[in-house]
Each structure stands twice: as structure tokens, then as C-alpha cells.
Amino acid sequence: MAAPGEEEDVMARYRSPLVSRYASAEMAYNFSERKKFGTWRRLWLYLAQAEKSLGLPITDEQIREMEANLDNIDFKMAAEEEKKLRHDVMAHVHTFAHCCPKAAAIIHLGATSCYVGDNTDLIVLRDGFNLLLPKLARVISRLADFAEKYADMPALGFTHYQPAQLTTVGKRCCLWIQDLCMDLQNLERARDDLRFRGVKGTTGTQASFLQLFEGDHSKVEELDRLVTAKAGFKRAYMVTGQTYSRKVDIGVLAVLASLGASIHKICTDIRLLANLKEIEEPFEKDQIGSSAMPYKRNPMRSERCCSLARHLMTLVMDPLQTAAVQWFERTLDDSANRRVCLAEAFLTADIILSTLQNISEGLVVYPKVIERRIRQELPFMATENIIMAMVKAGGNRQDCHEKIRVLSQQAAAVVKQEGGDNDFIARVAKFLKEEVRPALIPYQSKMGGKIELAL
């Protein structure tokens, strides 16, 4: 923080580029301090409301005071309290109590720190998914439009990044769409599988609330149900330690990592197609591709997606390690790690989805280049049909395959080593004329004079 009387120079401090450079305002807010601590206060309100409805001596005046100060957060005071107490939750309990003096005695009643901490995390994760899902759906929609538009445009397919058989521009795009549809289902499932931690105590039992309600189990169970519903969840985890199981975080980041893999593959394909000059991402009128090479049209949006997708894919290792080392009911070595990895995963997913939407809305196709590449490779693409025709005419499939393989390699050598044209068809024609036709003449009577048709 800046010294008293001085303005803080934000340019003199590191800021995560995920927020300062890339992320959407809504996702940045979702992981903000204001959202976090505002949610803590709402959770304290839900708890007080539910406890009051079940008979604890909490007044309407106390509830109204809490309601009036949900967003009246003195962050400076909270920071000072935390510096003194070395405990973030109690710092905010004191800060909330300061502006709610009448309700001070019942704030956080019966609860443990993870009541606000973990339940807030689950709310933020749920809200994060709700921000990502429409963006992913829009990307799928844009790519579907592109696939439909170019459904019938032939393009050279590649396996091992070597020329293969024909596909279409639209069909290739459908490969991308199918992966993203799987991601859409995975994100929806992960969101819907999230439950509330609920109203549980320091080791996951409800002993403190049983004491408050004088051993009335039904009231404690109803308290849990009421607060869970107020927070917008249909279910709470039946069993927790002090925290909800950190395996939940693994499931959340795993589906985001999978989304990252899909987007990395899509944008890698686009980068390769840009090199072939068949398809390019949008390129602005005044955009500069290189400070040294004015002709460059670098696929920088796709490169950004690949760069950030790699980061997203690695983040799942954090919750895997964290879940593995949680001792008994919990250890605090999860906290600092989760502050980083959960936020960064959603921020990164948000960024690459927004960028991919921009790419998918402005993809540029160059049909003449695509057509020229097909013509260059068309002779080789005919090999499978030639082999099948030779077999139908009575040839042995393996012998035919070997001969065509040799002829195609010879033609490839002309192209690669001599810079000549592809003469594969001429070589096949010569082979059929000089070797196959003479071999079939003795069987002409049995073939009904159909040698030329067979050839």
C-alpha cells in the first residue's frame, strides 16, 4: 500500500495480465475482493435469518441492520484488522460488526471460517460456470455457421500433417465443434454437480449448532436446508471435513483443462492453415504483424489462445496435489494455492473463449489457394481408387498396392528433388499400358473383351 498522503503508482506494482490485459469485466468481478467479501456478508445474513426462523433470539432489527450493510465494506479497516489478527474471516467479522453494532453479537453464530470461505468458493465456481457456458455456446454457434457455409467446399485433408484424402472446409470445422460440444456438456455437468458445503462446524460435524438448538437434530437439519436454499443450491454435501472435499476442485479444473485442450487444437489448426494461406483469422486494417517484416500476417489471436490454453491445462495439477496432501479433516496448505489456481483457471478459460469467438466470427477463407493445393495433390489422392479398380479387374490387392506405392514415391521424388510437376498419373498410365494390358490379353475371351473397360 502507498504511504499516507501518497497516491499508489499502480504501474510500479506487478499486476496479473489475466486481469489487467485480457479478462472480461464480469469474470474479473466474479473473483474480486468485493464479490468475495460481499458474499461472506450475505452468508452471515442467510445464517442469521435461518437461525431466527428456527427460534434463536435474533431480532428483526438485527436482520435489517445486516441487510442494510451488505455492501458497505470498509476494506481499509478490514486490512488493518487482518494485519492485527492474522485471520481474514475474523477481520471481516469485526468489520461487519463495526457497521452493524446491534447485530454484532449474532454475526457468525455457531459457524466456522469455512462456512463463509468454502461456501463462497462454491458460489463463485458456480457463477464462473454460468459466465463461461454462454460464451462457449456462442463459439459453437459461430463455428456452426461457418461449417454450414463451407460444408461443400472441398479441401485437402491431412493425417500426420501429410497430404491425405479430401475433406471439406465445413467438415473439418465440425471436428472442432464436436469437441466443444463435449466441453459444453462437461461444463454443464460440473456446474450441476456442485453442492453447497452447508452449515457444518470445525470438523464437518454440526455439534456447535446442536448446542445452539439444545440437541434438536431436526432444527439443525432444517437450518442446513434453509441456508443451502437461500444460497441458490438444491443440495449440500452430506459429508465434509472442515472443508468440502478438495476432489471437487479437481473435477472443476479438469473440465476447464479439457476445454483448454480443445481450444489449443482448434487454434493450432488455424495457425497451420494460415501458414498454408488457406484460412486466416481476422486481421485489422492497421494491424502490424511484425516490426521488422511489414508483409507478415501473424495469427496472433490463435497464438494467444494456444499460449493461455497451455497455462489452463497445467492448472489442474494444483488441486490434484492439494487433494492428495489434505490430512484428516483439513490442513491450511490448500488455501494460498487455491486462491491462485481457481481464479486463474476461470479467468483463463474466459479469455480464450472470448478470443476464439472473435476468431470464429471473422475467419477468412481463400478458395483459390485451397483449390490449387487439391490440384497439386489430386494424382496421389486417386491411388486408392486406382487400386480398387485394379483389384476389380482381377489383380491382387497387395501386389497392386506395392506397385502403386513405388510409382507414387517415384512421382514424389520428381516433385521434391527436382521441383518438377506431379507425373504420377502419367506413370500409372504407362504402367497399365506396358505391363498390365499385355498380361491381360491371354484372358481376353474370359473377360468378354472388356480389357479396355477394366483398365
The residues near 260 (Cβ < 8 Å, ≥ 6 apart) are 308, 309, 310, 311, 312, 313, 348, 349, 352
* Per-residue cell: 143: 463455428
- For the chain, the average pLDDT equals 90
Q: Which CATH architecture has domain 31-99?
A: Orthogonal Bundle (1.10)
Answer whether 63's CB lies under 8 Å from 52's CB.
yes
What is the tens place of the pLDDT at every residue in 116-131? Answer: 999 999 999 999 999 9
Dist CA 18 CA 25 (whole Å): 11
Largest CA distance in the chain: 110
Residue with cell 507425373: 423
The pLDDT assigned to 454 comes to: 45
Residue 25 burial (C-beta neighbours within 10 Å; 0-12, 13-18, 19+): exposed
- At residue 77 the predicted structure's pLDDT band, cuts being 50, 70 and 90, is very high
User: Do the domains spanning 113-283+296-365 and 369-443 agree at the CATH topology level?
Assistant: no
Residue type, 435: E
pTM to 2 decimal places: 0.88
**Where are the domains positioned within the chain?**
31-99, 113-283+296-365, 369-443
- The domain made up of 113-283+296-365 is a member of CATH 1.20.200.10: yes
Residue among 53, 290, 307, 335 flagged as catalytic:
290
pLDDT of residue 440: 52
Task: State how far the Cα of 270 lies from the Cα of 22, in Å rounded to an integer.
Answer: 21
Q: Which helix (H) or strand (E) holds 57?
A: none
What number of residues does the chain have?
A: 455
**3-class DSSP string for 178-196:** HHHHHHHHHHHHHHHHCCE
Three-state SS letters, 298-354: CCHHHHHHHHHHHHHHHCCHHHHHHHHCCCCCCCHHHHHHHHHHHHHHHHHHHHHHH
**pLDDT confidence of 392, banded at 50, 70, 90?**
confident
Q: What distance in Å separates the CA atoms of residue 1 and residue 47, rounded to the nearest whole number?
A: 34
pLDDT tens digits for 177-219?
999 999 999 999 999 999 999 999 889 999 999 999 999 999 9
Lowest mean pLDDT among 289-293, 338-342, 419-423: 289-293
If one compares 353 and 442, the residue with the highest pLDDT of the two is 353
DSSP string, 347-382: HHHHHHHHHHHHHHTS-EE-HHHHHHHHHHHHHHHT
Q: In whole angstroms, give the CA distance from residue 439 to residue 88.
A: 90
Residue 82 has pLDDT above 80, yes or no: yes
pLDDT at residue 452 greater than cutoff 80: no
Q: Which fold has domain 369-443?
A: Ribonucleotide Reductase Protein R1; domain 1 (1.10.40)
* Mean pLDDT calculated for residue range 305-319: 98
Spell 237-264 as b/e; 16+ CB within 10 A means b: beebbbbbbbebbbbbbbbbbbbbebbb
Q: Is the pLDDT of residue 453 over 50?
A: no
Q: What is the reported pLDDT for 9?
A: 75
Task: Write the CB contacts of 105 (distance below 8 Å, at least 6 apart in sequence).
Answer: none
On the question of pLDDT at 80 being above 50, the answer is yes
* Catalytic residue (one of 160, 218, 291, 445): 160
Would you call 290 a catalytic residue per the annotation? yes
Question: Tens digits of per-residue pLDDT, 37-69?
Answer: 999 999 999 999 999 999 999 999 999 999 999
Per-residue model confidence as pLDDT tens digits over 237-290: 999 999 999 999 999 999 999 999 999 999 999 999 999 999 999 876 555 555
Question: What local confidence, expressed as pLDDT, does residue 416 receive?
Answer: 87
Q: Is 311 a catalytic residue?
A: no
Span 158-169, average pLDDT: 93
